[in-house]
Amino acid sequence: MRPGQNSASGSTLLFILNRFIDDDSWLIWQLADSAFPAGGFAHSGGLEAAWQHGEVRDAAELASFIESSLWQTASSMIPFLVAAHDDPPRLEQFDALCDAFLSNHVANRASRLQGRAFWNSALRIFAPIEIANGQLGFYHFAPTFGAIARALRINRPAAAELFLFQGLRGLVAAAVRLGIAGPMEGQSLQHRLALRAREMLSLTEKRTVDEVASVAPLLEIWQGGHDRLYSRLFQT
């Protein structure tokens, strides 16, 4: 700054830089990175079973399937995430409630596998972080994600959006690996559904665990049939 120059412009520049240089943003990007070992690519959310049974045959049906899956996640899992984020000492209780809610054995298994993978990875990568409960009965993904996000000081809206983003990204990645869509088509679909996903969050993020609901019964059927497939690419 030249002598006599007003310092207002310098203060404005510093304010702008502080908005964009944010440690929390870097942390969110790290968690959103597909390289983060959270176990999200071991399952297809029922997409593989739906595809093999002819339920998903083209791009339009793929988009409909993914949108239904996002509604299912927003309506049934986001409340568990929010509850654990708001009240970490009750994480064990929310984990048990989530296990009782997920009566579909395939969805239940996928949630436990992802939750445990995310829990173990976060504790090793970001050590030391303090979690209210050192041991859980099931380690379901949604409540575990909420508690970890709280421990990492990620605010609740960002945590919920990140969770739903990972669900969308995982389904798109599964579609590409199964050959249902190409990489470019998959990314285009993910971009188109991003706004819908945010609308879903705005409608469901204030629900309590007493208001969780399964809104996609056909999705439950396809996901439950995954283990009976003759050959499969994904675990669940």
Average pLDDT over residues 102-126: 91
Instruction: Say whether pLDDT at 75 is over 90.
Output: yes
**C-alpha pair distances (Å), 13 with each of 23, 72, 146, 148:** 18, 43, 35, 34
Asked whether the beta carbons of 168 and 66 are under 8 A apart, the reply is yes
Residue 73 pLDDT grade (very low, low, confident, very high; cuts 50, 70, 90)? very high
At residue 236, the pLDDT reads 62
Give the model confidence (pLDDT) of 153-206 as tens digits: 999 999 999 999 999 999 999 899 989 999 999 999 999 999 999 999 999 888
Percent of the chain at pLDDT > 90 equals 56
**Assigned fold of 41-228:** Urease accessory protein UreF (1.10.4190)
At residue 1, the pLDDT reads 45
Residue 41 pLDDT grade (very low, low, confident, very high; cuts 50, 70, 90)? low
Report which of 219, 234, 192 is spatially closest to residue 39, judged by C-alpha positions: 234
**Cα–Cα dist 168/4, whole Å:** 54
At residue 106, the pLDDT reads 87
Can you say how many angstroms the Cα of residue 212 is from the centroid of all Cα atoms in its chain?
Answer: 16
Residue 230 pLDDT grade (very low, low, confident, very high; cuts 50, 70, 90)? low
Give the model confidence (pLDDT) of 7-28 as tens digits: 444 444 444 434 444 457 889 9
Residue 128 pLDDT grade (very low, low, confident, very high; cuts 50, 70, 90)? confident
At residue 152, the pLDDT reads 93
Q: How many CA atoms lie within 13 A of 21 on its CB side?
A: 6
**C-alpha pair distances (Å), 205 with each of 34, 133, 159, 189:** 24, 24, 11, 23
Average pLDDT over residues 72-82: 96
Average pLDDT over residues 118-128: 90
Neighbour tally for 231: CB within 10 Å: 6
Neighbour tally for 168: CB within 10 Å: 20
Residue 50 pLDDT grade (very low, low, confident, very high; cuts 50, 70, 90)? confident
Instruction: Say whether pLDDT at 232 is over 60.
Output: yes
At residue 22, the pLDDT reads 47
Both tokens of 89, joined, read 């000492």
Name the residue ranges covered by the structural domains of the chain.
Answer: 41-228
Instruction: Say whether pLDDT at 36 is over 50.
Output: yes
Q: How many CA atoms lie within 13 A of 47 on its CB side?
A: 33
Helix pair angle (59-76, 217-224), 10° resolution: 100
